[in-house]
């Protein structure tokens, strides 16, 4: 049984490449499976991952997306589940998917055109960096710990 930081559930090569590059850059252990069914078949070989990304951008029915999330939640109850849905779907679908057990939902355009995936994955997998807003820092004071600035 192998422990992975980042599990991608997608059969799209562009998704595998993007997530593989992020995993290499940040030093995550990475595994990709083609489908929920493939994950369930390999469940005994994969220890519960820290972070699961479900590609649901081609799924049109919100109930089907919800079912995917519920299956993954059952197999990996303490994993952080991020679901990417089609940008064409109604935003209310995102709320429904979160109620079904996903921790976060991104639209497809956010997945490819922003650094939200990098930010969320570093926060959830490494958890050694905590976000601090500039307005939380007080002028003319010393911070008693190291502080790093994450560039977008």
| pLDDT 10s digits, 63-75 | 899 999 999 999 9
Q: Give me the pLDDT at residue 18, please.
A: 93
Model's pTM, two decimal places? 0.80
Which pLDDT band, with edges at 50, 70 and 90, does 60 fall under? Answer: confident
Contact indicator for 59, 88 with CB cutoff of 8 Å:
no
Alpha helices in 3-142 (DSSP H): 13-26, 36-41, 62-75, 92-99, 108-113, 116-121
Q: What is the pLDDT of residues 14-38, one digit of tens each?
A: 999 999 999 999 899 999 999 999 9
Q: What is the pLDDT of residues 109-144, one digit of tens each?
A: 899 888 899 989 988 888 655 556 677 778 888 887
Strand order in the sheet with 30-33: 30-33, 6-9, 51-56, 80-85, 104-107
Contact indicator for 33, 133 with CB cutoff of 8 Å:
no
Contact indicator for 83, 69 with CB cutoff of 8 Å:
yes
Q: What is the pLDDT of residues 86-95, one digit of tens each?
A: 988 888 898 8
């Amino acid at each position: 049984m192998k422990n992975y930081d980042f599990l991608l559930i997608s059969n799209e090569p562009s998704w595998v490449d993007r997530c593989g590059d992020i995993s290499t850059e940040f030093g995550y252990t990475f595994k990709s499976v083609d489908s929920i069914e493939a994950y369930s078949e390999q469940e005994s070989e994969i220890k519960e991952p820290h972070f699961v990304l479900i590609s649901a951008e081609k799924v049109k029915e919100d109930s089907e997306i919800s079912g995917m999330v519920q299956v993954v939640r059952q197999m990996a109850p303490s994993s952080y589940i991020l679901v990417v849905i089609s940008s064409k779907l109604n935003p209310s679908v995102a709320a429904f998917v979160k109620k079904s057990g996903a921790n976060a939902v991104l639209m497809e355009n956010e997945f490819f055109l922003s650094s939200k995936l990098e930010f969320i994955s570093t926060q959830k997998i490494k958890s050694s960096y905590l976000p601090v807003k500039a307005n939380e820092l007080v002028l003319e004071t010393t911070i008693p710990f190291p502080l790093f600035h994450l560039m977008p």
